[in-house]
Chain A
Amino acid sequence: MIFPRGAARSTDHAAVSGVVYDAVVVGSGVSGAIIANELSRAGKRVLILEAAAADDITLSGYEAYLKHFYEAVSKDNQSPYPENPNAPMPRSTDARKIPPGETDASAYLVQKGPFSTDTTYTRVFGGTAMHWEGKTPRMLPEDFEMRTRFGQGADWPLSYDDLAPYYVRAERELGVSADVEDQAYLGMTYDPDYVFPMKGLPLSYLDKMVAKDVDGMTVELDGEQYPIKVRAFPQARNGIPNAAYDGGKGFVPVGAVSTHQVEEGGRCQGNINCVPICPVQAKYNAGKTLAQAFKTGRVDLLAQTVASKIHVDPDTGRVTEVEYKTYSDPHSPDHETGTVRGDVFVLCANAIENARLMLASGLDGGNDLVGRNLMDHQYLLCWALMPEVCGTMRGSVCTGGISDLRGGGFRRQQAAFNIDIHNDGWGWAIGSPYTDLIGLVETQNKFGADLRGELVSRITRQLQLAIPVEVMPTESNRVTVDPSYKDQLGNMRPVISYHVPDYTLRGVAFARQLSTRLFQRLGAADYTVYDADDYAYVTYEGEGYVVRGGNHLAGTHMMGVDRSTSVVDADQRSWDHENLYLVGGGSMPSIGTSNITLTIAALCFRSAERIVEQLQADARPPQVPVG
């Protein structure tokens, strides 16, 4: 995919000052990319504001990220991406234990606790869809009806069937590899002739070794029997194109993006570092959509331009302009301010940044709901050593897992969860393989062939289960702002208050018990330890667990059918401001056990249609006589 040369510099701050765009989009991640692409293809002029730098996406620019990652000591989600104090981002290594009643303001996210989250999002051109893993499960039909079916959380104003056609478009845009027969479960249905763009990626050898002993096992929960099996996950990662796609037209995978021709990203090669960056761009990134958007010639970009305030006409409630701060040096607080105008404004930052920008602009939704109901997945990690070599560290990060407990009547009492079998060993849990190396050298004095042998034998037997447990919306879990906490540019930082609800903890406790049963069945030695000193240590009924942040942020501007109990409508349009859309995970009233990007993308396709309709309808807004 060729990124038109100079696209990232098609305009400048002086040039946009006199322009009223059809739409101003804040953020260039997956949401901003899809909205911009769809609107521009409908003939609309779009301006994207991106807080971070955006030199033209060249392959060497992308590979500078890779090099940064290879050289980094910590291989966390943000390790490839440059530090930028003018558009700072949370890093999982920032999290600290928060003493009761205290506030930890040592890093970008100001945390009031009681739970200290290590959740992250990435503020670079292309957004968090640069570091994401690429897993793309749809939400279950029951996930949209949590209140009605289980008396928990909130219902969506949309059903699975409403969203299904947009899931299809999202699966095309993201380039999903999956087989319908693996993905038709727990009520997820597809059109009879539907196939995914590409065939399912194969289960890893480790998946198969787990499946050998686990498939057919039954779990009893709330009086019901759940047979479980290892199932392949759908992934936005290039695989074998399905010739039957699109009525037999097939699918052409999108490879790497650059300003000049490269041939990369054709197919996943099984490099293990999908997170934080795919070395060959076989994984979808928002650049693939942005390149198409820029090709229309109707999309302008202002990079290094941080949206700082939304201005609203007090009489009409309409957004009039967005104020920004633009900087030339990420390490200097020097900046200039300005405003941009459009008929429609679309906030595509992410659940935390959208809420932060609204609140920093004094906009709380009129019902104090902006920023509330912050959700994430809490990940329980369980790790064990398999009795024989299982090829750990081969494949993409995660190819299969156990999805049978994503849904069921037990959700009246406890949270649903998914079980991801990680192909990258105990990396997330304890920092393998680096910690294995240090341990063998420093505490066991291994060297040479002995060391190599031990390393291989240990690492290729590592089994890590990463278990995302759902979190229901809770008003006290929230994002706020506080003028005492600002970033280098003087923008207020997000202040997070968060606790892990008991509903989730019941799911966590059950998942931990299940993991020990699975390990017993596999003959695997359980090495799982939860350290009471860990910042993410939580207890439930006397047992302690460590639950990590999932980077699946949602819920801060939930959609609903009633303006008094929600921030946006089903189109993600603000109830209060008729020309403002708040787009992304923040609109989701629940996230079930699905990684959120596919659903975000589907919602964007749906909203883009509504925005185009609104722009057509508003094409000649009534002119109010002046004077």
Chain B
Amino acid sequence: MPLHRITTTEDLHRYLRAALQLEHATIPPYLTALYSMHPNTNLDAFHIIRVVAVEEMLHLTLAANVLNAVGGTPDLTAPDFVPTYPAFLPDGEDDFQVDRERFSKKAVDTFLKIERPGVAPDEESRIKHREGASRSLLAAPEDDSMHFYSIGEFYEEIRRGLVHLQAEKAKAGEELFSGDPARQVTPEYYYSGGGEIIPVTDLESAVAALRLIGEQGEGLGGAIFDNEGELAHYYRFKQLLHGRYYQEGDGPDDPTGPPLVVDWDAVYPVKTNASLEDYREAPGLYAAAVEFNRQYASFLSLLTDAYTGRPELLIDAVVEMFRLRDGMTSLIRNPLPGADGLTAGPTFEVAAVSAIGSA
């Protein structure tokens, strides 16, 4: 297949930067759905989405560790880092787009596509060439014509690239893992119940980090629980549609755990993919949305600092996340004038922040 695969360290860096973009790209949609639920309702659904969002942040951090380990530099403040929604995923999956929208069956369907099991139905569809010009709103990692069936396939390519480059470098007497170990985020600064951060210093730890991302996301080889007995995101979401939790021993289509009740109506009708433009006639909402975007931009800047040598800043980031939550909920719980009962929502337009800032 005439594909441009990872053959150089620069390729690898580009893929890993795309990985950071990819992991982040899912967060605004997850958070929008999460905070669109009415307070104190849908507790099961709230926790399921919250867990996934938290683990996407873990994946983001794992990807940063791998990039740092191979001498790259994470930059979450790059102009195109945050996608414009609706967006294709940055790994090139092109059969669906992701919206920032309220919690709904449609949103959960999209989440299932994001987290779908990694192995393509056949070799043919595993990695495909896209016909014609890409509509992707994001830079594809290497070659705009190349795209992956799933996030799992995308990470598989990174894993293959790492192994390949490690061997190449070894032959040349060079070291692939030349990054500054002080840039690694360690469990001291990051942990969540469902998965521990892995500091990356060599091929083994890099592969372990990528495996954790894969296992948590889609499950591997059709297993609904991973090695640690943790349920993959894909199946966590499926629980919402089944109305029942999985337990050990369950098959993929037949959860038999405790029941789970979803109230699809106890949700604020957030305007899908709301943008600042929508708030032109509502100065209060406009100001709140601009302020949120400013805080979000500053949060990404904080993360960038944390990923480039100051991991202790992740502790401070907790407070910032509370601020972001408050900013999001205050937009989500306010009606948008003239929009037939829809409510406002955060717009995540950080590109606009610098434009406004320089005006």
A residues near B (Cβ < 8 Å) are 2, 5, 56, 58-60, 63, 67, 70, 199, 240-243, 250, 252-253, 255-256, 259-267, 269-270
Contact = CB atoms under 8 A, between A and B. Distances in A.
A241 B191 contact: yes
Contact of A240 (B43, B189, B196, B319): B189
Contacts of A60: 43-44
A264 B192 CA distance: 7
Given A243-B186, A252-B191, A255-B192, 18 more contacts: A5-B257, A56-B258, A59-B43, A60-B44, A63-B43, A67-B40, A199-B188, A241-B187, A241-B191, A253-B193, A260-B245, A260-B246, A261-B231, A262-B47, A263-B193, A264-B193, A265-B193, A270-B318
Contacts of A260: 245-247, 257-258
A5 B246 CA distance: 11
A8 to B, nearest CB: 12
Contacts of A256: 193
B284 to A, nearest CB: 15
A199 B54 CA distance: 23
Contacts of A267: 191, 318
Interface residues of B, number: 30
B47 A250 contact: no
B230 A259 contact: no
Contacts of B322: 269
The 7 tightest CB contacts between A and B, nearest first, are: A255-B193, A263-B194, A260-B245, A263-B193, A263-B51, A266-B192, A240-B188
25 contacts: A2-B229, A5-B258, A58-B258, A59-B43, A60-B44, A63-B43, A70-B40, A240-B315, A241-B187, A242-B188, A252-B191, A252-B196, A253-B193, A259-B245, A259-B258, A260-B245, A260-B258, A261-B51, A262-B51, A263-B51, A263-B194, A266-B193, A267-B191, A269-B318, A270-B318
Interface of B: 40, 43-44, 47, 50-51, 54-55, 186-189, 191-194, 196, 229-231, 236, 245-247, 257-258, 315, 318-319, 322
Central interface residue in A240, A256, A265, A270, by most chain B CB within 10 Å = A240
Nearest to B195: A263
Contacts of A243: 186-188
A441 B191 CA distance: 44
B193 A259 contact: no
A264 B46 CA distance: 12
A266 B191 contact: yes
Contact of A261 (B40, B187, B230): B230
A262 B245 contact: no
Central interface residue in A60, A255, A263, by most chain B CB within 10 Å = A263
B187 A263 contact: no
Central interface residue in B193, B196, B246, by most chain A CB within 10 Å = B193
Contact of A263 (B40, B54, B318): B54
Nearest to B319: A270
Nearest to B255: A260
Nearest to A252: B196
Contacts of B245: 259-260
Contacts of B194: 261, 263
B192 A263 contact: yes
A243 B194 CA distance: 18
A253 B199 CA distance: 18
Nearest to B245: A260
Nearest to A64: B43
Contacts of B193: 253, 255-256, 262-266
A240 to B, nearest CB: 5
A93 B72 CA distance: 61
Contacts of B191: 241, 252-253, 266-267
A266 B321 CA distance: 15
B40 A264 contact: no
Contacts of A67: 40
Contacts of B186: 243
Contacts of A270: 318-319
A252 to B, nearest CB: 7
Nearest to B322: A269
Contacts of A265: 193
Nearest to A2: B229
A242 to B, nearest CB: 8
Contacts of A252: 191, 196
B46 to A, nearest CB: 9
A263 B196 CA distance: 12
A126 to B, nearest CB: 19
A622 B231 CA distance: 51
A58 B51 CA distance: 16
A422 to B, nearest CB: 20
A143 B257 CA distance: 50
B257 A259 contact: yes
A241 B188 contact: yes
Contacts of B247: 5, 260
A2 to B, nearest CB: 8
Contacts of A2: 229
Contacts of B47: 59, 262, 264
Contacts of B257: 5, 259-260
A171 to B, nearest CB: 18
A219 to B, nearest CB: 34
Nearest to B46: A63
A242 B191 CA distance: 12
Contacts of A58: 258
Contacts of B50: 263
A432 to B, nearest CB: 21
B54 to A, nearest CB: 6
Contacts of A262: 47, 51, 193
A252 B193 CA distance: 9
A267 B191 CA distance: 8
Nearest to A199: B188
Nearest to A265: B193
A270 B319 CA distance: 9
Contacts of A199: 188
A252 B192 CA distance: 10
B203 to A, nearest CB: 23
Contacts of B55: 263
A253 B192 CA distance: 9
A265 to B, nearest CB: 7
A58 B322 CA distance: 25
Nearest to A66: B40
Contacts of B44: 59-60
B188 to A, nearest CB: 5
A250 B191 CA distance: 13
A255 B188 CA distance: 16
A263 B191 CA distance: 10
Nearest to A254: B193
A231 to B, nearest CB: 21
Contacts of B230: 261
Contacts of A263: 50-51, 54-55, 192-194
Contact of A250 (B40, B187, B229, B231): B187
Nearest to B44: A60
Nearest to A256: B193
B346 to A, nearest CB: 21
A260 B43 CA distance: 13
A70 B43 CA distance: 15
Contacts of B40: 67, 70
Nearest to A198: B188
Contacts of B54: 263
B301 to A, nearest CB: 22
A252 B51 CA distance: 18
B269 to A, nearest CB: 24
A267 B50 CA distance: 15
Contacts of B51: 261-263
Contacts of A59: 43-44, 47
Nearest to B246: A260
A238 to B, nearest CB: 9
Nearest to A242: B188
A285 B50 CA distance: 22
